[in-house]
A and B are shown apart, each in its own frame.
Chain A
Amino acid sequence: MQTIALTRSIKVSTLDTQATVAVARNRPEWLAVTQLAKDLGGELRPGNVARELLGGLPQEVGRLAMSRCVELGLLEWVERLEIARLSSLGQESLRLGQVFVAEERLWRFYYCNDPLVLPGLVHVEPVFGADAESARHQQREMRKARKSAADQGRLVPALLERAIGHPVLRLVDGEGAAAFVVKSLAKTGFERESASLDLRVHWDEANPKPSLRLEGKMLAPPNSEREEDVAELRVNGPLPLGAMSHFSFQDLWERLVGLGNGIGPEAVQQCSERAGRLMAPQEFQSCPVAARKQFCRDLAIPAVPGGQLNGLGHFDPTTLRQVELAPSSEQEASLWADWLLRESIDRYLTRADVEALAHSIRSRFEFHSPVLPTPGQLLADALQRPADPLSRRLLAAFDLGIWS
């Protein structure tokens, strides 16, 4: 089974700016109210909450709880303060097991410009651990302290603005679920330390779709609210397939093999079509010795330039393992078979042995009919070069009475 493994490094930029971001939080109490609304099939009343979840506390407490859930977007009022129902966000929150809680404050945005990382926002992380008011104050103070225009910060990149409203998958300390939604952004912010992450494509021939992941480490903002006192954010999560979904495995494999053996993807495609399976055409002279014997090789693929694979961007050099090979032409097949025949003469052989060996070698060429030297021709060659090890194996049989 063939496998494709591609990687490239991605530069991740950072920007600290004021923003409102809804962050998925673990709030089981509000999810309990939301779940009750779902269980009751539509209408949730304060009494239901007080009775089912609050152990018989007054209905007013249940109403307060419902009001908070409406504020969080989990419920919608059917009749204000009396009857509420499950919202679509509440439905999604139940699925994720988390509640999106909007926070306005100073955030650090981690983003990149890569065709396979869309919309380009990798992560957000709160800065300073302060509330929005104190953050704004701090930002004002910082601006005052700076004198040049550059110190006043830079405009927020357009790709961050395009990210507003799109749930972003969580790539830091976990994976899979939508982790945050940018609600609004300030106009400017301040650049911070950039980072480098690895984008990895892994595709087994048996899987219809590849795996696309981003991995690596980024510096966390100082004094983060994170409970752990860590300075690094560990990135390890999947990305949407994006442009990758336009490729089939065979298409991508043939393009890569074309780059690797220098023959071109069309020839690779023709070879595979004739074989009915993935197979690479191979010229004899450039084929490594072990591959000549096994009809199979690990094919080194050079760095893939950006425009080579439509829309996928550049990739680092890689290797395609165990690529099945076939001679690139009948002439190449004959050269290859001749080499195999001579290489197989590793013991003393009679004329009949040589004929059987030639037959066996021809049978290894599924799609070609190579021409091989006859035993007599091999013997004649051997008599010209008696000291050659191969010659000695044939000449021994000839000289010592068992050749024919």
Chain B
Amino acid sequence: MIAPLKLSRSVDNTITLPASWLRCGPTTPMDDGGALHGLLPAGPQRLLHARLLELIGEAKEVILLASFLIADEELATALDRAHVRGVRVYMLNASEQRLRSCPQEDDAFTARMVDDHKLLLDRLAGRVTLRSAEHFHAKFVVIDPQTPHAGGLLSTANFNRALHEGVELGVELGPDDSQALAGFFNHAFWGESEHELVEPGRLAAVEARPKPPTIPESLAMVGTMRATQGLRQEVLRLLDAAMEELLVSSYGLEAEHASIAALIAAARRGVRVTVLTRPRPAVKQICETLVAHGIRVVAHERLHAKAIWADGEGLVMTANLASQGLDVGFEAGIRLRGGQAAALETTLRSWCERFPWQFDARPSLQGEFSEICPADQSVRDGAHQIVEEVVQTLPPITAADALAMEGAKVPTLKSEFVGDKRGLPRRIRYDWEVRPPRLPQKARERKREQAVEKPGKDGAIITTIEKISYVPPVFECDGRAYVLLRNAEERSHARKLAAELEATVVVS
């Protein structure tokens, strides 16, 4: 019998890919380098978290704590203990209205986290003096600011699970910087807060507003508040002054903001610029713009840190590169020099090397990456695994003749494949079968005529014409002749007969 012929052919996947995040490495925590010169990375080692709790535990008189969002059980317990030992605790955080309006694509701002935040505030009601405002976003803690042993910690992380899950930074503050930051806190508390927690679940509008204290001048601390845009000025100064290299980390990037224009300008004048961000649909457009100007963009799913390293100077801050933060809001930052700036450079360079995602406006499947996520989708839902090859099984092809299978027509093999649950392939292997043609059901056997001599009644030999089957048998249907190949031994006969009768060799 004639077996189907199995054929296979591979082609390169030439699909045109959109601007995408390309996974160039695994997603890993970023705090394994430990603390450097008072620079504390967040992560599972809990360096930042532990230092925050230590500071609160060391407070003897006063704790000033600001965070956009607060939801950490250990932190709440530490504040409880501080209250019990007579420490006055003052807190600033974002208004619930602002929290509810935060984009849901960000894990840290899910509704559950906001609910946890509210529960924690209710728990602390009566033990802390807490005020909120829509624009409060700074994250820091200062202890005993009116004493020589004042201390503090500026954090890019909210005081929630971001402390040990996020890619974040904290900077320990000395007495002078702590006191300067306390000045920011005081000004915001008296001059910019909108509501005060008066009992569990109830925030009352702030009505009486005593004249707020003046914002202190500081060598290191900079901030943005209603009365100042010191942080914006410092960011622009750093970006504008860079001559060789810029490493910029920011969760948010706003296309129209002056800081983005400053980044592009730096790239145009030859500065090597690397932007570290979080791979989110919201930054797709700005990333396209940045890479179009030669800026490298890398990302980490948990990046939230905001920092700039520029030719040896550093800045760690709580604001994103966006107007809601640098221009408007309550944000704080600390200038880093010397060893601390070097530590920031080391940290950011390490991140650049190890961040799993790289932005590519026109990616090719021939590049070195293991996953790809269109930039207009979240990496959680939109990432596709890259596979070397996928097999596409095509419908079988019926050969024109059972004795001419190799010559069957090759099917159309598409070279663009968008991928499926198996992943996005660099190559597509098409498999298909060539099958021999079959005898039509309506076909009737054609027999050949043959003269046969036989003795007659009278004994005389008579010649008669009889119809006998071909070997192999021949059939006809709709005016076409078919030779039925019944076994391999009949191949040569069938070929010969088909040629003779202009018939097609078929199988049953």
Chain B residues within 8 Å of A350, by CB = 210
A399 to B190, CA, bound (A): 12
Question: In the complex the two chains form, is A396's CB within 8 Å of B129's CB?
Answer: yes
- A386 lies within 8 A of chain B by Cβ: yes
User: C-beta contact mask, B131-149 vs A, less than 8 Å → 1, else 0?
Assistant: 0000000000000001000
Question: In the complex the two chains form, is B213's CB within 8 Å of A387's CB?
Answer: no
Question: In the complex the two chains form, is B83's CB within 8 Å of A387's CB?
Answer: yes
User: C-beta contact mask, A115-134 vs B, less than 8 Å → 1, else 0?
Assistant: 00000000000000000000
Chain A residues within 8 Å of B146, by CB = 399
- B189 lies within 8 A of chain A by Cβ: yes
A397 to B185, CA, bound (A): 13
User: C-beta contact mask, B250-278 vs A, less than 8 Å → 1, else 0?
Assistant: 00000000000000000000000000000
- A204 lies within 8 A of chain B by Cβ: no
- B392 lies within 8 A of chain A by Cβ: no
Question: In the complex the two chains form, is B129's CB within 8 Å of A402's CB?
Answer: no
Asked if A396 meets B208 with Cβ closer than 8 Å, knowing A401-B186, A402-B186, the reply is: no
- A52 lies within 8 A of chain B by Cβ: no
- A348 lies within 8 A of chain B by Cβ: yes
Question: In the complex the two chains form, is A386's CB within 8 Å of B86's CB?
Answer: yes
Which of A347, A392, A401 is within 8 Å of B88, CB to CB? A392
- A353 lies within 8 A of chain B by Cβ: yes
* Identity of the chain B residue whose Cβ is nearest the Cβ of A349 in the assembled complex: B210
- B62 lies within 8 A of chain A by Cβ: yes
Q: How many residues of B contact A (CB 8 A)?
A: 21
Question: In the complex the two chains form, is B88's CB within 8 Å of A399's CB?
Answer: yes
Question: In the complex the two chains form, is A353's CB within 8 Å of B210's CB?
Answer: yes
In the assembled complex, the CB of A348 is this many whole angstroms from the nearest CB of chain B, namely: 7
- A378 lies within 8 A of chain B by Cβ: no
A350, A353, A396, most chain B CB atoms within 10 A? A396
B64, B183, B210, most chain A CB atoms within 10 A? B210
Chain B residues within 8 Å of A347, by CB = 208
Which of A348, A395, A399 is within 8 Å of B208, CB to CB? A348
Question: In the complex the two chains form, is A400's CB within 8 Å of B186's CB?
Answer: yes
A396 to B208, CA, bound (A): 14
Chain B residues within 8 Å of A395, by CB = 88
Question: In the complex the two chains form, is B189's CB within 8 Å of A400's CB?
Answer: yes
Question: In the complex the two chains form, is A386's CB within 8 Å of B88's CB?
Answer: yes
In the assembled complex, the CB of A346 is this many whole angstroms from the nearest CB of chain B, namely: 10
Question: In the complex the two chains form, is B86's CB within 8 Å of A400's CB?
Answer: no
A402 to B212, CA, bound (A): 7
* Identity of the chain B residue whose Cβ is nearest the Cβ of A392 in the assembled complex: B129
- B421 lies within 8 A of chain A by Cβ: no
In the assembled complex, the CB of A338 is this many whole angstroms from the nearest CB of chain B, namely: 23
Question: In the complex the two chains form, is B88's CB within 8 Å of A402's CB?
Answer: no
Question: In the complex the two chains form, is A401's CB within 8 Å of B62's CB?
Answer: no
A386 to B86, CA, bound (A): 6
A387 to B88, CA, bound (A): 8
Question: In the complex the two chains form, is A401's CB within 8 Å of B208's CB?
Answer: no
Question: In the complex the two chains form, is A399's CB within 8 Å of B62's CB?
Answer: yes
Which of A387, A400, A402 is within 8 Å of B90, CB to CB? A400
In the assembled complex, the CB of B207 is this many whole angstroms from the nearest CB of chain A, namely: 8
A350, A353, A401, A402, most chain B CB atoms within 10 A? A401
* Identity of the chain A residue whose Cβ is nearest the Cβ of B63 in the assembled complex: A399
Chain B residues within 8 Å of A402, by CB = 186, 190, 210-213
* Identity of the chain A residue whose Cβ is nearest the Cβ of B210 in the assembled complex: A402
Residue ranges of A at the interface with B (Cβ–Cβ < 8 Å): 347-348, 350, 353, 386-387, 392, 395-397, 399-402
Residue ranges of B at the interface with A (Cβ–Cβ < 8 Å): 61-62, 64, 83, 86-88, 90, 129, 146, 182-183, 185-186, 189-190, 208, 210-213
A-B contact pairs, 30 of them (CB 8 A): A347-B208, A348-B208, A348-B210, A350-B210, A353-B210, A386-B86, A386-B87, A386-B88, A387-B86, A392-B129, A395-B88, A396-B90, A396-B129, A397-B210, A399-B61, A399-B62, A399-B88, A399-B90, A399-B146, A400-B90, A400-B186, A400-B189, A400-B190, A401-B182, A401-B183, A401-B213, A402-B186, A402-B190, A402-B211, A402-B213
Top 8 A-B pairs, shortest CB-CB distance:
A401-B213, A401-B186, A400-B186, A399-B62, A347-B208, A386-B86, A402-B210, A400-B189
6 other contacts beyond A396-B129, A399-B90, with CB at 8 A cut-off? Answer: A348-B208, A386-B88, A396-B88, A400-B90, A401-B190, A402-B213
